[in-house]
Structure 1
């Protein structure tokens, strides 16, 4: 039987290795694809500003290049916005969605207030100093998570083109996450670290947007819960993939008998 495909999407900073360990565990049974957001396709966008649409075209090109008709999308943080928008635009191309550290952009939250303030005050700092402010204020984890997520964020953000970073951060403002998610009927697994308080604070009305979402929290984990608690995440993810496959098989059987 032909392998199903899983496409992995990283966060606003970082790269295609965000799910490296998960891919190593899954690639025996699944066709796994990961890619860097800020490749030549996005970075050489000419005079066009960075947009969700540009990221959707980039993702669609991965489908076409690999000859894929349908895939599971597994995304981290900002990548969840792209995955959701893609599923809304091309529902026939998405088997399921798995979000790690996902968040909602519209509605009052400390996260959106922080993003707004950072962008408003950018002119007061040189770029490296401003990025340090971003890393400090957007740090999602509390002290019990033994990871220097602030330093990791800063390191990756310093590797990005300054203008691309600002544009990517600005995409959060005015993006209607709730409207996008409300129109999605695809199976969704939403995994959060229990200590990821900054981003969890945006999810107060998550069930109102997507009543069918399978929401899970992992104890003693922060924003990158799949890294902090790899085994627990893999158990959830594999179970979700199996359940999704079983439901599809049941639908096929019903259609066949009809």
Structure 2
């Protein structure tokens, strides 16, 4: 059973939360945008009503789940707004179903480039023999590398990760290591906005060639923000996203103008 949370009318925006999060990750953004758009969110597999349950959490499973959101909501097309890990889902979905996606907005998005971030994901696999609580803490400390918000981020991540079944997290890191999202991105022609926090150093290490593989990307670094930009600069994020959306015009199935 999957709950879909839906508000407003107009063009659809589907918000996809990050790993160990939930459908409330974009609560403020959804409330603001629901005055002009049909906004939707849902819980990823193993994160909602089945939180703590061992589930199949492959990229294919996650694509099928997102496809169900379109089908159950009667949506033909939507903008996709993703956070961190869910950028893998959004990009792969846009590649597979290009006519169903109007635009892509990635917050803290990344892909599988040789980088300190990729090295970190590999090292996380090496510590899976630890007790789960210690493994979670090691993940949190490794992915919050050199950030002024590290202490707060570690506390939040460990709090929510404890509620997720260990197999879900392990499958998620396999997706990050094995999915060739970079090659898919090269084929994507949709309008793309990429948001990174000023202090999101580790995740920025993986996207050094973003403008080469997505020449039309609109890239913005948000000041005084860490990895989860909306936690620090929600108002600014909303304004940036509104401006991006306002410059996209749709005619039939075609995007005819964007930034």
TM-score, scaled relative to structure 1:
0.89
Give ranges in structure 2 of 5+ residues lacking alignment. Answer: 1-8
2:46, 2:164 within 8 Å by CA — same for their partners in 1?
A: no
User: Which residue of 2 is the match for residue 120 of structure 1?
Assistant: 126
The structure that is helix-richer by fraction is 1
1:71, 1:94 within 8 Å by CA — same for their partners in 2?
A: yes
User: Which residue of 1 is the match for residue 115 of structure 2?
Assistant: 109
Matched, 1:66 2:101: no
Give ranges in structure 1 of 5+ residues lacking alignment. Answer: none
**Which structure has the larger Rg over C-alpha atoms?**
1
Q: CA deviation at 1:226?
A: 2.1
User: Which residue of 2 is the match for residue 160 of structure 1?
Assistant: 164
1:194, 1:221 within 8 Å by CA — same for their partners in 2?
A: yes
What is the count of residue pairs matched by the alignment?
246
Aligned counterparts of 1:98 and 1:204: Cα–Cα separation in 2: 18
Q: After superposition, where does 1:3-42 map in structure 2 within 5 Å?
A: 3-39=10-46
Per-residue deviation, residues 208-228 of structure 1 (Å, max 9, x unmatched): 110000000011111011221
Secondary structure (helix, strand or coil) at the match of 2:57 reads coil
Instruction: Quickly say closer, same or farther: Cα 1:219–1:48, change in 2 above 3 A.
Output: closer
1:141, 1:222 within 8 Å by CA — same for their partners in 2?
A: no
User: Which residue of 2 is the match for residue 242 of structure 1?
Assistant: 246
TM-score, scaled relative to structure 2:
0.88
Runs of 4+ residues over 3 Å off in structure 1: 39-44, 46-49, 249-252
Matched, 1:205 2:212: no
Which of 220, 230, 233 aligns to 1:229? It is 233
Instruction: Quickly say closer, same or farther: Cα 1:115–1:231, change in 2 above 3 A.
Output: same
Instruction: Quickly say closer, same or farther: Cα 1:74–1:60, change in 2 above 3 A.
Output: same
Aligned counterparts of 1:216 and 1:148: Cα–Cα separation in 2: 24
Secondary structure (helix, strand or coil) at the match of 1:3 reads coil
